[in-house]
Amino acid sequence: MTTEAQAQPHVQHPNYVKVWAILVALLVVSVAGSMTHIREVVLVAAFGVAVVKAYLVAKNFMHITVEKRWVPYLLIVCLLFVFILFAGVAPDVMRHSGLHWTNPSANQASQPAGEGAKRE
Amino acid sequence: MSATAKPLANTRNGTGIPTARLITWWVIASEIVIFGGLLASYVMHRIGHPEWAEAASHTNTWAGAFNTFVLLTSSLCAVLAHKAADAHDGPRAAKLLRLTSLGGLIFLCVKGFEWTADIHEGFVLSSGGFWSFYYTLAGLHGLHVLAGMIIMLIVAADAAKNEELQRVECIGLYWHFVDIVWIFLFPLLYIAR
C-alpha cells in the first residue's frame, strides 16, 4: 500500500487538441454520411465512425491502454454480458413469429399504414 | 488513530490503482451494463420494427450533432484539467472543470429546447415504442450529465485550493464515459432512419 502512485502522474499526456480535432472531423464525416441516404454509407458513417470515436476517447482521454491490464478486461466482461443479453433476447424480439408462436400485436404494429384497413 | 493507520480510501493504493480511480472504473463497469442493456434493447426493437424509421425521422440531426460537438469539447476540457492536476496546477484544473460543466449545461439546454419542440409536435413518452426509448435513453443520459456537472463543480471547488487533485482525473473518467455513451446514442437516435 502506497500513496506514491498518486504523487506521480501515471500517464504521458498526448496532444489532446489534435485528438479533439480528429474527433470533430469524424463527427462531420458521420453527419455528411447520413445525408447521402445510401443505407450502407449511412450505417458505416454512423456506427463505424462511432466505434472509432469511442476508441479514440477511451485510448487518449481515459488512458485505458496504460491502465492496469485487468481494468479493460473488467469492462470487456461487462460488454460481454450485454452481448449475451442481446443474443438471448433478440431472436424473440426481432422476429414476430416462430415455430409455435406468433406475436400478433407486433405484427399489427409493423404493418405499413393502410394495410390493416385494406384487409378489413 | 495510530501513525501507522491506513490512509483515507481515496489515497490508498492496494491494487496498484489508487482506490478512488478503482471505484470510478467499477462505476463505469456497472454503467456499461445499464446503458448497454438499454441500447441493446433499443437496437433489437428497432430492427424488429422498421416502421419506427418514420418516428426517428422527426428527431433533429443538427441539434444532436451540435450536442455531440459540445460533449467532445467538454471532454477535451476535462482531460486538460487532468493534465493541469498532474502538474499540480489546481486553479487551472478548477477553471477547466468549470468549463466542462458549462459544456454540460449547454448540452442540457439544447436537449431542453429539442424536447420542448418534440412535445409541441405531439411526440411524448407514450407516443410509441420509438419515443419511449428516445426519452428513456436521452433522459437517463441527461441525468448522468447533470450528476457529472454537480460533482465536477464540487471537485473544482477543492481543486481551486490545490486540494484533492486526484479527484480531477476520476470525474474526468466518468465524464468521458458519458461522452462515449452519447457517441453511440447520436447515430442510434438521430442518424439511423
Non-local (6+) Cβ contacts of A54 within 8 A are B180, B183, B184
Interface touch A57/B183, C-beta < 8 Å: yes
Average pLDDT of the residues of chain B:
91
Q: How many CB atoms lie within 10 A of CB A104?
A: 9
Listed by number, the residues of chain B in 115-174 with a beta carbon closer than 8 Å to a beta carbon of chain A are: 129, 166, 172-173
Among B36, B180, B187, beta carbon nearest to A30: B187
- Give the mean model confidence (pLDDT) for residues B36-49: 92
pLDDT in tens, B90-116: 999 999 999 999 999 999 999 999 999
pLDDT higher than threshold 80 for residue B13: no
- Give the mean model confidence (pLDDT) for residues B12-16: 72
Q: What pLDDT score does B11 carry?
A: 63
> Which three-class secondary structure state does DSSP give residue A97?
strand
- Parts of chain A with a pLDDT under 70: 1-9, 111-120
Interface touch B191/A90, C-beta < 8 Å: no
- Give the mean model confidence (pLDDT) for residues B139-167: 95
Q: Measured between beta carbons, which residues in chain B are less than 8 angstroms from residue A7?
A: none
Q: How many CB atoms lie within 10 A of CB B93?
A: 30
Please state, for a pLDDT cut of 70, what percent of chain B lies above it: 93
Among B29, B69, B75, beta carbon nearest to A57: B75
Whole-number Å distance between alpha carbons of B12 and A21:
36
Q: What pLDDT score does B1 carry?
A: 45
Among B6, B18, B179, beta carbon nearest to A6: B18
Longest dimension (CA), chain A: 76
Residue B8 CA from chain centroid, whole number: 27
The β-bridge partners of B59 are: none
Q: What pLDDT score does B4 carry?
A: 52
For chain B, list the domains and their CATH numbers: 17-191 (1.20.120.80)
Nearest-Cα distance to chain B for A29, in Å, is 11
Residue that wins the pLDDT comparison between B6 and A75 = A75
Residue that wins the pLDDT comparison between A2 and B157 = B157
Q: Say what the ipTM of the complex is.
A: 0.90
Non-local (6+) Cβ contacts of A79 within 8 A are B32, B36
Angle of CA points A116, A117, A119, to nearest 5°: 70
Q: What pLDDT score does B105 carry?
A: 98
Interface touch A30/B191, C-beta < 8 Å: yes
Q: What pLDDT score does A31 carry?
A: 92
Instruction: Supply the Cα-derived Rg of chain B in whole angstroms.
Output: 19
pLDDT higher than threshold 80 for residue B2: no
One-letter identity of residue A51:
V
> Which three-class secondary structure state does DSSP give residue A102?
strand
Interface touch A1/B12, C-beta < 8 Å: yes
Q: What pLDDT score does B144 carry?
A: 97
B4 touching chain A per CB within 8 A: no
